[in-house]
Amino acid sequence: MNAPDTVQGPLYLEDLQAGQVLKASAPPTVIDADAIKAFARQFDPQPFHLDETAAAGTLFGGLAASGWHTAALTMRMLVDGGLPLAGGIIGASADEVRWPRPVRPGDSLHVECEVLEVRASRSQPDRGIARVRTSTLNQNGDPVQIMIANLVVRRRPA
């Protein structure tokens, strides 16, 4: 992986190249126990996301954010300056989503994106597809989520 470039936008398909690494310009996102529990109550009400005491006796050994909460936080960081694609971040598909370690209260998260592939559309000349690996990292630089997605990206207007 190349050294990350601080993201400047908007980015068009022509601005992206395989091997390019983009680092968010937005400040890190710090997660707290209340946010973990609020998300879990609404979307993933399992004991290890809702209650410290109950979570202590689980596989996680303590309160942990839902993977889907991590995915939502990642999307927010991408929108707030992590991947300023012209026309917005539009997913065509996801090839992979992994959560190699849990997100804990107090973690400070940031995103880095590596462009894996860029190709123009044959049928839609105003756009193309960028295959991007987005890594959500904690304050120690450890990945808490790795996602590979195929994104629809606008071409630069003539």
Residue 25 contacts by C-beta under 8 Å, 6 or more apart in sequence? 6, 7, 8, 81, 82
> Is the link from the previous residue into 47 a cis peptide, with omega within 30 of 0?
no
Q: Report whether pLDDT(25) > 90.
A: no
Least confident of 20-29, 108-117, 142-151: 20-29
Q: How far, in Å, CA of 115 to CA of 21, rounded?
A: 6
Local confidence band at 93 (pLDDT 50, 70, 90 cut-offs): very high
**Amino acid identity for residue 80 in this structure:** D
- Domains in the chain, please, with CATH? 5-154 (3.10.129.10)
Q: Which residues contact 97 (CB under 8 A, 6 or more apart)?
A: 67, 71, 145, 146, 147
Start-end of H helices in 28-134:
33-43, 47-50, 52-56, 67-77
Residue type at 49 in one-letter notation:
H
Task: Note the pTM of the prediction, 2 decimals.
Answer: 0.93
14/22 Cα distance (integer angstroms):
15
Asked if the model's pLDDT at residue 1 lies above 70, the reply is no
Predicted confidence (pLDDT) at residue 8 exceeds the cutoff of 60 = yes
**CA angle at residue 60 from 51 to 141, to 5 degrees?**
110
Confidence grade of residue 2 (pLDDT, cut at 50, 70, 90): low
pLDDT at 44 over 70: yes
pLDDT value of residue 9: 73
